[in-house]
Structure 1
């Protein structure tokens, strides 16, 4: 692995802090725009006078655009430099969000959501910037702080929607928050991101990008629309079969391409397989937690015999916001644990928190405090996972592949989120009680157990990775971070406010 530039190690603490702030705000834009539409799908359906299936495309279009664009944007950042790509993404997202604010047409709203889908490229590019610019001793903590905003921004989007929409409010109001955050992020990124020539060489494998995008679209389309089309319908079965064929062909194409979009050896490397599987399962757990808690606490107990009759705002603020706040506090400490003990032990500890939270939600959710605690534990698990995964990916690849490697991991998380939301919605919809019009209580037990299984899978994958590392003689800390503990002691400790203390 090539040495890091000396100029990066000498960067002032204030500059490092501003850089982390700028990148964190950009990643917050991604997660904010992803989550704020979830509670207003019903409002979009009513106010635009469209069917539930048509309104669901507001989520699907965004997800499909992300699947196509993320690996290409990550590779472009590796080859052309991260700054112009990040600024271009933020500009496109601002245009798309402005369109979502102004339009009352579903087709134009979908165009806006497609442009917003470019925001998924911000995370892998942010990891590339950090690896290039942040001093070695603070790299793990910086990556943890930035990546934790994936979970925190999701909660912020739900809270913003509850504040601005409520019962019967205009679905477009939350997009104003997204537009404001995007514009501030664009201005700060333009001011802070360094102008450095890229060290990458080669070209973008556009054919590989097209084939990969097609395969991912064919995979995500039935996952997002299966409830509407029917899981046994020709459309779902055909798309899944075609996806398997196209993705298999993509692997063959990458093996025969001199400069592939993603090296097949990187995909087959155990060190990248572990974080990609963990990312997939973490995505499942994230949406299982969000959907189960939000719908359960809003159920009217007088009609269903369960739930607390909470409003959208109360559901977000009381039951989800504590986990978001805890994530902000825990992320820097999780980064320090990654530095001292390694990414995989940190990932393992976070996943155990997720198992405990989902089991609590499955077995004892009859009182508000238990649901608040379950939400806190499951969101901490996601925050810690997002803090540990970038370090695991960075350990496995050279610097000029950081963007595309993290893009692959981002796709794994996106597929997991689509799968988690699909499973949760399917289980809840299948248990509707005709007498009340609400799901039966057992549906939430099933969703919580799915989350517990997903978290347990992360535990097993992380443990297997730890065992494999020890057998390979890499020790308890990542190769690249093995000497960081001593460097951290010399350089001083991280403060999430100023960068140094």
Structure 2
């Protein structure tokens, strides 16, 4: 079941332009990617402010996070596939326009429905990074591709920590919760203008058939999965709604695999997904996301706990953001190191080393969590792991797919990484909720030790997956 879009001209791929300036292009793509990632994490500390502004409960306002994640799950693979087919510059401009519009809607509206629509539009922004990777691969000189991809991919970790810090700073400066979205909208609008001006990539679309049935089964399955994970803590993991969502996800995703193997032009090529290096990289990314991003909720909640309860440091939103500042520095350093390692020994070793460093981070937290600086040091180590692992992933994926499949392959990986992060966060939250202080909704100190061990165990699985990755580096002649 499909509908055909008929573009004016058809070809198989675009030709790079020699007059594009790589540094300007990379700056525009990095700015756009960073703005989108920051936008997703900066909303966490301002949920209470949004609830007050919209005159809704905290339970209701939590849907601004859920809707954003659902939109990202559905649109990231779709926009990645469209970018490979009808032009990555075109689709990234459309995406940035939608994100900017979403920011404006959130900033100006006092209607919960309109705000949720704006957050759904912002969720499309998760496709920016995979589209940017495709642009870099098709436009940059080969020797500059690994370092540029390492930086773009590392921005996922940098932005997640920076978003909390920026949000805390803006709150201290007196910026309202909705006012922050004017700032994020201005930055993505700047990225949109920069994309139009500096990225000179004359793309000619090829004939593209919209795989409607594949889109419906994949989108429906991902919505059920992400909604079940996100709402599990509030609805109850054993509730009929959550179990029904997981069952629906299983059925729809299984149906999607069957559909994609039967249509002429699938939304996502299952054969590509089964390529050993692509499959191994995706498994590693999923496990790494689950382990590493589980650390965010643990660190933030621990340092914000008032010290009178026997642990914690009573930090506010800004203090929690400053605790994650070493993560940003560590990720930047590791991304630069990853690009050098990729050139010398290939991308598999940075990925493996990154997962080992992440595992060591949780081992450190198991033994040392009595002082605030312990957590600052741990987030720095986690940043090193993020930068090395995520910096190597695009190069690994690109080694297993054709240039025409670059964006869709990285979109699937981005989606799996995000779902893994959601699962890791849900697991960490569930472990903390299972052992609370009597009479208080506050975890016991031992619950954190258990959660550190569980997240570290997930990272051990990521180490194993990275070690088994079937990739052999060939040094260029």
Who is 2:406 aligned against?
402
Counterpart residue number, 1:310: 315
Q: How far off its partner does 1:403 sit? A: 1.2
Partner of 2:257: 251
Q: Which of 467, 476, 487 is the matching residue for 2:473?
A: 476
List per-residue Cα deviations over 1:199-224 (Å, max 9, x = no partner): 75543323211211011101111100
Query: Is 1:17 equivalent to 2:23 in the alignment?
Result: yes
Gaps spanning 5+ residues in structure 1: where? 470-474, 487-501
Rate the CA distance shift 1:31–1:427 in 2: closer, same or farther, 3 A: same
After superposition, the Cα gap between the structure-2 partners of 1:173 and 1:443, relative to the gap in structure 1 and judged at 3 Å, is farther
Report whether the alignment pairs 1:216 with 2:222.
yes
1:432 aligns with 2:429: no
SS at match of 1:323: helix
Distance 1:166 1:430 in 2: 34
Equivalent residues of 1:27, 1:123 under 8 A apart: yes
Residue aligning to 1:336: 340
Contact 1:96–1:116, Cα closer than 8 Å, also in 2: yes
* 3-state SS of 2:437 partner: coil
- Per-residue CA deviations over 1:76-105 (Å, capped at 9, x if unaligned) read 111111111111111110010011111222
Alignment match of 2:126 (pick from 109, 120, 131): 120
2:135 aligned partner: 129
The answer to whether structure 1 residue 321 and structure 2 residue 325 are counterparts is yes
Alignment of 1:146-225 (within 5 A): 146-166=152-172, 170-198=176-204, 200=206, 202-225=208-231
Secondary structure at the aligned position of 1:203 is classed as strand
Distance 1:457 1:53 in 2: 34
Match of 1:165, SS state, is helix
**Secondary structure at the counterpart of residue 110 of structure 2:** coil
- Structure 1 residue 41: deviation in Å? 2.3
- In structure 2, do the counterparts of structure 1 residues 23 and 162 end up closer, same or farther at CA, with 3 Å as the change threshold? same
C-alpha deviation, 1:43, in angstroms: 3.0
- CA–CA distance in structure 2, aligned partners of residues 361 and 106 of structure 1: 40
What's 2:235 paired with? 229
Distance in 1 (alpha carbons) for counterparts of 2:27 and 2:209: 31
User: Is the 2:86–2:208 Cα contact (8 Å) retained in structure 1?
Assistant: no
The match for 1:497 is none
Q: Is the 8 A contact 2:165 2:325 kept in 1?
A: yes
| Matching residue within 352, 355, 365 for 1:348 | 352
Native 8 Å contact 2:147 2:336 kept in 1: yes
Instruction: Determine the C-alpha separation between the residues in 1 that align with 2:265 and 2:441.
Output: 55
Is contact 1:79–1:203 with CA below 8 Å preserved after alignment?
no
**C-alpha separation between the residues in 1 aligned to 2:462 and 2:180?**
33
**How far did 1:197 drift?**
1.9
Residues 15 and 202 in structure 2, CA contact (< 8 A), matched pair in contact too: no
Matches of 1:24 and 1:133, distance apart in 2: 15
Which secondary structure state, in structure 1, belongs to the residue aligned with residue 238 of structure 2? coil
Note the 1:408-427 alignment, pairs <5 A: 408-427=412-431
Correspondence for 2:87: 81
2:438 pairs with 1:441: no
Q: CA RMSD in A?
A: 2.1
Aligned to 2:37: 31
TM superposition shift of 1:4? 10
Gaps of 5+ in 2: 1-11
Whether 2:391 is the aligned partner of 1:387: answer yes
For 1:124-176, what per-residue CA distance to the aligned partner results, in whole angstroms no more than 9, with x for missing partners?
11111011001111111010011111111112211111112259973223323
Distance 1:61 1:126 in 2: 24
Deviation of 1:348 after TM superposition, in Å, equals 0.4
Instruction: Label 1:139 to 1:195 Cα distance change in 2 as closer, same or farther (>3 A).
Output: closer
Counterpart in the other structure of 2:281 = 275
| Structure 2 CA distance for aligned equivalents of residues 199 and 89 of structure 1 | 17
SS of 2:209's equivalent in the other structure is: coil
Which of 67, 80, 91 is the matching residue for 2:97? 91
TM-score computed with the length of structure 1 as normaliser: 0.88
Task: Give a deviation string over 1:419-442, Cα, whole Å, max 9, x none.
Answer: 122122222233332445422112
- Does 2:282 match 1:285? no
Structure 1 residues 200, 358: closer, same or farther in 2, change over 3 A? farther
Output the CA distance in 2 between the equivalents of 1:218 and 1:306: 37
